[in-house]
Structure 1
Amino acid sequence: MFSVVIPLYNKELSIRNTIQSVLNQTCQDFEIVVVNDGSTDNSAAVVEAIVDDRIRLIHQKNQGVSAARNRGIEEARCEWIAFLDGDDLWDKAHLQEISLMMQKFPDDKVFVTSFEYSDKRAMFRHPRSEPIFKVQNYFKEAMKESLMWTSIVVVHKSCVEVVGGFNEKLNRGEDLDLWARLAREYQVIKSEKVTAVYRVEAENRSVSSFDTSKSRVFNYNFRDSKSPDETLYYKNQITNALRSYLISRRISLFVKLYATHYRYVSLLSILKLKKS
């Protein structure tokens, strides 16, 4: 039923526990597709030492996490793609919760649960009347709440064929870019149940050198916006990025990003000033 796609790059300290969290699932109808994206440590050997016929390890030269995820989608034998990063963990009921969501909304194709950070930091959540629900306005709600994150997303394989996979030209925000494209075309079904842990202390969390020209906020084209809420969502994302550059005194990055979007984002909004 599920193809669990795990990109792997230098995660030898984490990958065993990540895979074990899949093997521990109460729902056992899955395969695990691990795409080794040119790891230079013992990550691949750790995977190979785990004995389970449902695990397939695929090797490719280092091309980045988006290319690894896309390769995993291509190799998937099941119709449902469940994403999981190589250093995160699932609760044993993660796939079972997704299955319950599918039963409640059998005509939908994009399902997400909820997650928590391993350091237990506070997270904003909109109040909901039901534990499993349709997200009514993704772009409006995502400005406050982390609705979608890689290790809680399950999509039908046909969705990726419609909207495209992860943008391999991006090395920042490539996941949010795909979620936005999915939200344009499909209803997002969400559960309040926390079924995954984002391990903030995991090794090698960021492996690519920062290049603002390869970030989602830099490459967004406002002419592609399909609604006022989507426009506002990206204005908010870009404004926050610009503000962070100012605070951290990365002036060259600020100038580069602002020059790209100055028609849509004002200096007053970046500085949180209001016109008198």
Structure 2
Amino acid sequence: MFSVVIPLYNKELSIKNTIQSVLDQSFQDLEIVVINDVSTDNSVEVMNVFNDERIRLIHQQNQGVSAARNRGIEEAKFEWIALLDADDLWKQDHLETFVNLIEKYPNHLFFASSFEYSTPRESIINRPGVEDYEIEDYFKESLTEHLVCTDVVVIKKKCFETEKYNEDFVRGEDIDLWTRLARKYKIIKSNKVTAIYRTEAENRSDSNVLDIRKTFFRDVDLSRMKNKFEKKYFKKLMFTKLKYYAVKKEWNNFFYLLRKFI
């Protein structure tokens, strides 16, 4: 039922626990598609400890995480795509939660549960006391909550026939994809926490040191947005980034983004 797509690049300290968290699922109708993006550490050797025919390790030339995820989705055998980063973890009932959601909302194609950080942080529940619900306006509700994270989405494979990860983006490729999909499909959101985002994992990326043209901000055009909440959502993201660039005196990125903002 589920194809679990995991991009792998230099995660030798994490990948074993990540894979094990998938194998430990209470719902077992799955395959695991790991795309090795030419890891230079012992990630592949660590993978060899598993002897499970449901795990497929596919190697590709170093093309980045977006290309790895796109390749994994293309290789997937099942109709439902579940995404997971190579350094994060699922709780045992993660996939079972989505089975129940899919049965409850049979006409929907995009589902998301909730996650928690491995280190203490304040969490926001979008609708306290509600188990699951349809997100009426993704951009409006994203103003107050981080609704979607890679580790907690399940999407029908056919959705990726028209919307794929943008392989030009080094960072923010997930935000770019969620917003494009959210314009087309209603998202069913569960408040149930089923995944753990490991803040202490190795090689966590820092998008702030990059040329902003390599991020999703490159394609943001406020003048073309008809949804007022979509415009407000992106302006909030841009304003936060502008403040950061000003503090760090990264003026090339600052003025490039400022021209978009105004």
TM-score (norm: length of structure 1): 0.91
CA contact (8 A) 1:48 1:57 kept: no
Give the match for residue 171 of structure 1.
170
CA contact (8 A) 2:8 2:39 kept: yes
Deviations along 1:101-156, one digit per CA (max 9) or x if unpaired, are 11110110000000011102112222345201111111011122010000001000
Give the match for residue 183 of structure 2.
184
- 1 CA distance for matches of 2:219 and 2:240? 15
In the TM superposition, what are the counterparts of 1:117-128 in structure 2 within 5 Å? 117-128=117-128
Give the match for residue 156 of structure 2.
156
- 1 CA distance for matches of 2:179 and 2:195? 21
Give the match's secondary structure for 1:17.
Answer: helix
Give the match for residue 202 of structure 2.
203
- 1 CA distance for matches of 2:95 and 2:130? 19
Deviation at 1:32?
Answer: 0.1
Give the match for residue 79 of structure 1.
79
Deviation at 1:44?
Answer: 1.2
1:257 maps to 2:252: no
- 2 CA distance for matches of 1:42 and 1:92? 27
- 2 CA distance for matches of 1:207 and 1:66? 16
Deviation at 1:262?
Answer: 4.1
- 2 CA distance for matches of 1:227 and 1:262? 16
CA contact (8 A) 1:117 1:197 kept: yes
The one-letter code sitting in structure 1 at the alignment partner of 2:235 is: K
- Taking only the aligned residue pairs, the percentage that are identical comes to 51
The one-letter code sitting in structure 2 at the alignment partner of 1:110 is: F
The one-letter code sitting in structure 2 at the alignment partner of 1:252 is: N
| Gap change, CA 1:262 and 1:190, over 3 Å in 2 | closer
Q: Structure 2: any 5+ residue segments left out of the alignment?
A: none
Deviation at 1:207?
Answer: 7.6
In the TM superposition, what are the counterparts of 1:61-140 in structure 2 within 5 Å? 61-140=61-140
CA contact (8 A) 2:112 2:187 kept: yes
The one-letter code sitting in structure 2 at the alignment partner of 1:49 is: V
Range with bigger deviation, 101-110 or 222-231: 222-231
- 2 CA distance for matches of 1:145 and 1:12? 32
Give the match's secondary structure for 1:168.
Answer: coil
Deviations along 1:194-214, one digit per CA (max 9) or x if unpaired, are 000000100011188612111
Range with bigger deviation, 41-50 or 92-101: 41-50
CA contact (8 A) 1:184 1:226 kept: no
- 1 CA distance for matches of 2:120 and 2:151? 17
The one-letter code sitting in structure 1 at the alignment partner of 2:22 is: V
Deviations along 1:64-114, one digit per CA (max 9) or x if unpaired, are 100000000000000000000000000000000011111110110000000
| Gap change, CA 1:101 and 1:185, over 3 Å in 2 | same
- 2 CA distance for matches of 1:40 and 1:120? 32
- 1 CA distance for matches of 2:127 and 2:70? 34
1:44 maps to 2:41: no
Give the match's secondary structure for 2:31.
Answer: strand
Give the match for residue 273 of structure 1.
none
CA contact (8 A) 2:238 2:261 kept: no
- 2 CA distance for matches of 1:3 and 1:239? 37
Give the match's secondary structure for 2:124.
Answer: coil
- 2 CA distance for matches of 1:76 and 1:225? 34
Give the match for residue 22 of structure 1.
22
| Gap change, CA 1:213 and 1:15, over 3 Å in 2 | same
Range with bigger deviation, 45-54 or 205-214: 205-214
Deviations along 1:213-243, one digit per CA (max 9) or x if unpaired, are 1111232123543522111111111111111
- How many residue pairs align between the two structures? 261
Q: Structure 1: any 5+ residue segments left out of the alignment?
A: 264-276
| Gap change, CA 1:224 and 1:64, over 3 Å in 2 | farther
Deviation at 1:256?
Answer: 2.2
Task: Note the aligned Cα RMSD (angstroms).
Answer: 1.4
Deviation at 1:8?
Answer: 0.2
